[in-house]
């Protein structure tokens, strides 16, 4: 009874945490407005491209505090993880009714509040507000096609001649569209900030003094905050297209994505030609030759292998050894099961984003969707971990499968959750809005214990029901000694060599993802279809690279293919990590020590997860390759 009640409680919490609006979770249905209807403006947070520490807008000591009537919004888990802290504001907006000037408040600010404002403005912090789920935007005009586009947020202030000025007046331009049904929807939210020395609204005039922040003030200072509201009808932009202005920029990114995709296709075609034409034809010829010969003894086999007819057929000599148990089979199985869980999450999120299931504003649901798929992936982790371990050890039935299922399904979530909680302490010490609240931490732990753990056990149970894969070998024979390997087969050469082409496949998309996450945080990454197709091409290249690497080691008498295939498959992760270091020193201008730690910690975690995912994919592809070629020859 207690278990049922707890499970019900967790499921209700998950639904509430994942779905911000129970009626319309993904924002598919527009909100309609009538003239004179009250429109809510929500304040969120401030963040900067030069630091990884956003702050809640109402936590700033120099902005107008909320009145008792204002309340914080119930946030989805996606918004909490992203660092959103959304509150109702005291801005009075009524649909289609202009308000040339309103006085919001006179903020009594202490000297330390002024110094805080000076610090944030110099760090380039921008303000995030929301109306009808649309972020307040700064308007730009493209230098190429002269068309308007948006950048989410507006600057907190500006620096001129070494002095800082605060934006204490905003002109809000809200654009609306009359739909075919005659109803009105909001399609744009533009913010034009001004710095004004007094409480007068400047309007279109430029004849006013700016509000200078006096960092040397010894007493409290009054900062006046004012605003103006203008409504404009937009006939060319409908509700379905209102996000497109956020997806544009001064550079035509679409062309770059297409060029990158074509280059990736060329790389895949080139490597597929090598694998398909050269390698597979050679293997088919060897298999047919071996099966037609009467090899009576091991000595005859060795002599045949040394003959000129079988220079490249040494892989047959290790047919009894390729199915031997690898070193540290449990550790390898744990890593592989973790990789399966990560790969399942990546493909699932990109597929749902590409097909439009997550709605027009993907970033409002992508993190909670990833968490949901990650938890579901615990079943795949438990299943694949048991299957890999049984194939490695050739155990027909694992009696203690429950223990192993928990290890396979719980290791990665425990690692990720621990890492996030440790980093959360750094963010919490800085009073950043990115710090997860205690309730959210407890909720994540409950998700892990009540949902992830049972799913991994179910997956392990299903995996344990199936027997290990049949092998075509005799493991009672003594191990064949491994001859001295060529230098080019050492990990020092193979990992960089086989990781270069996969990294070249994802380099361009990785650049755009990094730009959106680390450099231009208010920008929107929206090319999920390109990213999904790139990941598919990357998967093909990884599998083909691993097959080539394993084949080269087999013909040179090295039958230890399991760890080799994983390390070769995960080699792209090393390039991602090196690229992260290069990106930090080349593109970012981060000086805060905490932000530096957060950047390298999260990029290292990302590289590790990618290594797990594509390493497991590489080993899975190598397993199919091994069982295919050795299952096609006559056993000795």
> What is the DSSP secondary-structure string of 584-626?
HHHT-----HHHHHHHHHHHHHHHHHHHHHHHHHHHHHHHHHH
The predicted-structure confidence for 468-503, as pLDDT tens digits, reads as follows: 877 766 666 777 888 888 888 999 999 999 999 899
* Cα–Cα nearest to 190, from 144, 134, 255: 134
Q: How far apart are CA 516 and CA 587, in angstroms?
A: 12
Buried b (16+ CB within 10 A) or exposed e, 560-597: bbbbbbbbbbbbbbbbbbebbeebbeeebebebebbee
- What integer pLDDT is reported at residue 11 of this predicted model? 41
pLDDT confidence tier of residue 21, bands split at 50, 70 and 90: very low
Please state, as a whole number, how many other Cβ atoms lie within 10 Å of the Cβ of residue 297.
9
The predicted-structure confidence for 89-109, as pLDDT tens digits, reads as follows: 999 999 999 999 999 999 999
Provide CB contacts within 8 A for 244, sequence distance 6+. 237
In a domain, 298, yes or no: no
Say yes or no: 561 and 584 in one domain. yes
pLDDT confidence tier of residue 362, bands split at 50, 70 and 90: low
Report long-range pairs for 72-76 (Cβ below 8 Å, ≥24 apart).
73/42, 74/16, 74/20, 75/20, 76/17, 76/18, 76/19, 76/20, 76/364, 76/365, 76/368
Query: Integer distance in angstroms from the first to the last C-alpha of the chain?
Result: 58
pLDDT above 70 covers a percentage of the chain that reads 88
Say yes or no: 504 and 367 in one domain. no
Say yes or no: 245 and 106 in one domain. yes
Region 274-298 average pLDDT:
65
pLDDT confidence tier of residue 26, bands split at 50, 70 and 90: low
The predicted-structure confidence for 108-130, as pLDDT tens digits, reads as follows: 999 999 999 999 999 999 999 99
In a domain, 91, yes or no: yes
The predicted-structure confidence for 520-550, as pLDDT tens digits, reads as follows: 877 777 788 889 999 999 999 999 999 999 9
Q: Could you tell me the residue range of the domain that residue 158 belongs to?
A: 28-249
- What integer pLDDT is reported at residue 308 of this predicted model? 42
Say yes or no: 38 and 134 in one domain. yes
In a domain, 20, yes or no: no
pLDDT score of 553 more than 80: yes
β partners of residue 157? 166
Query: What values do phi and psi take at 276, rounded to 5?
Result: -75, -45
Say yes or no: 92 and 224 in one domain. yes
pLDDT score of 418 more than 80: yes
Lowest mean pLDDT among 157-171, 226-240, 427-441: 427-441
Domain count, the chain: 3
Residue 517 token pair? 């996450």
pLDDT confidence tier of residue 20, bands split at 50, 70 and 90: very low
Angle, helices 571-586/561-569, rounded to nearest 10 degrees = 30
- What integer pLDDT is reported at residue 462 of this predicted model? 93
In a domain, 337, yes or no: yes
Region 435-449 average pLDDT:
89
Region 360-382 average pLDDT:
86
In a domain, 432, yes or no: yes
Say yes or no: 76 and 194 in one domain. yes
Cα 295 from chain centroid?
54
For residue 141, what is the enclosing H or E element? strand 137-141
In contact, 584 and 590? CB cutoff 8 Å: yes
Cα 47 from chain centroid?
19
In a domain, 314, yes or no: no
pLDDT score of 300 more than 70: no
- What integer pLDDT is reported at residue 10 of this predicted model? 42
Tell me the pairing of strands 148-152 and 137-141: antiparallel
Residue 144 token pair? 């190429």
Provide CB contacts within 8 A for 146, sequence distance 6+. none
pLDDT score of 23 more than 70: no
Say yes or no: 562 and 610 in one domain. yes
Say yes or no: 90 and 227 in one domain. yes
pLDDT confidence tier of residue 631, bands split at 50, 70 and 90: confident
Look-up of token digits 């050890």: 393
Say yes or no: 255 and 214 in one domain. no
In a domain, 18, yes or no: no
The chain-wide mean pLDDT, for the chain, equals 86
Say yes or no: 529 and 390 in one domain. no
pLDDT confidence tier of residue 240, bands split at 50, 70 and 90: confident
Say yes or no: 420 and 548 in one domain. no
pLDDT confidence tier of residue 176, bands split at 50, 70 and 90: very high
β partners of residue 43? 87, 129
Distances (CA, A) of 353 to 359, 380, 506, 532, 578: 8, 21, 18, 9, 28
Provide CB contacts within 8 A for 567, sequence distance 6+. 491, 495, 615
- What integer pLDDT is reported at residue 473 of this predicted model? 66
Say yes or no: 96 and 138 in one domain. yes
In a domain, 8, yes or no: no
């Amino acid at each position: 009874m207690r278990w049922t009640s707890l499970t019900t409680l967790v499921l209700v919490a998950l639904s509430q945490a994942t779905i911000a609006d129970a009626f319309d979770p993904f924002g598919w249905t527009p909100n309609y407005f009538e003239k004179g209807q009250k429109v809510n403006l929500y304040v969120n947070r401030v963040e900067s491209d030069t630091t990884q520490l956003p702050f809640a807008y109402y936590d700033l000591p120099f902005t107008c505090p909320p009145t008792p009537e204002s309340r914080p919004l119930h946030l989805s888990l996606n918004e909490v993880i992203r660092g959103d802290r959304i509150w109702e504001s005291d801005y009075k907006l009524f649909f289609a009714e202009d308000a040339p000037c309103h006085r919001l408040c006179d903020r009594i600010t202490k000297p330390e509040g002024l110094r805080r404002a000076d610090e944030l403005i110099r760090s380039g912090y921008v303000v995030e507000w929301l109306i009808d789920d649309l972020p307040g935007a700064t308007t730009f005009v493209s230098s190429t096609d002269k068309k308007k586009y948006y950048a989410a947020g507006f600057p907190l202030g500006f620096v001129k001649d070494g002095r800082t000025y605060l934006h204490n007046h905003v002109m809000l331009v809200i654009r609306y569209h009359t739909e075919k049904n005659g109803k009105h929807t909001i399609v744009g939210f533009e913010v034009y900030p001004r710095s004004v020395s007094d409480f007068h609204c400047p309007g279109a005039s430029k004849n006013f003094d700016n509000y200078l922040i006096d960092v040397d003030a010894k007493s409290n200072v009054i900062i006046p905050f004012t605003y103006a509201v203008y409504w404009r009808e937009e006939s060319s932009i409908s509700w379905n297209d209102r996000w497109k202005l956020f997806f544009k920029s001064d550079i035509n990114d679409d062309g770059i994505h297409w060029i990158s995709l074509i280059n990736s296709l060329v790389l895949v075609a080139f490597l597929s030609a090598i694998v398909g034409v050269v390698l597979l034809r050679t293997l088919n010829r060897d298999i047919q030759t071996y099966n037609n010969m009467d090899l009576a003894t091991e000595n005859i086999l060795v002599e045949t292998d040394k003959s000129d007819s079988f220079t490249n057929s040494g892989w047959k000599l290790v047919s009894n050894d390729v199915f031997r148990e690898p070193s540290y089979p449990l550790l390898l199985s744990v890593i592989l099961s973790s990789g399966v869980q990560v790969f399942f999450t990546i493909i699932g999120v990109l597929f749902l984003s590409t097909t439009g299931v997550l709605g027009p504003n993907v970033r409002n649901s992508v993190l909670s969707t990833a968490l949901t798929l990650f938890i579901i992936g615990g079943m795949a982790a438990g299943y694949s971990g048991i299957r890999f371990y049984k194939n490695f050890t050739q155990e027909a039935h694992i009696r203690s499968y429950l223990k192993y299922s928990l290890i396979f399904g719980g290791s990665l979530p425990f690692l990720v959750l621990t890492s996030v909680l440790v980093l959360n302490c750094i963010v919490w010490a800085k009073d950043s809005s990115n710090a997860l609240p205690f309730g959210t931490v407890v909720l994540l732990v409950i998700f892990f214990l009540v949902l992830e753990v049972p799913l991994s056990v179910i997956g392990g149970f299903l995996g344990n029901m199936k027997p290990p894969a049949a092998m075509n070998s005799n493991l009672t024979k003594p191990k064949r000694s491994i001859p001295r390997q060529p230098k080019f087969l050492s990990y020092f050469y193979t990992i960089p060599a086989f990781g270069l082409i996969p990294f070249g496949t994802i380099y361009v998309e990785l650049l755009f993802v990094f730009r959106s996450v680390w450099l231009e945080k208010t920008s929107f990454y929206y090319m999920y279809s390109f990213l999904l197709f790139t990941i598919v091409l990357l998967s093909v290249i990884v599998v083909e690279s691993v097959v080539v690497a394993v084949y080269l080691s087999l013909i040179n008498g090295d039958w230890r293919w399991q760890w080799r295939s994983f390390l070769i498959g995960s080699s792209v992760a090393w390039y991602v990590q090196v690229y992260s270091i290069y990106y930090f020193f080349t593109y970012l201008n981060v000086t805060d020590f905490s932000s530096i730690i957060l950047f390298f910690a999260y990029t290292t975690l990302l590289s590790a997860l990618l290594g797990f995912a594509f390493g497991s994919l590489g080993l899975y592809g190598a397993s199919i390759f091994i069982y295919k070629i050795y299952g096609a020859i006559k056993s000795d």
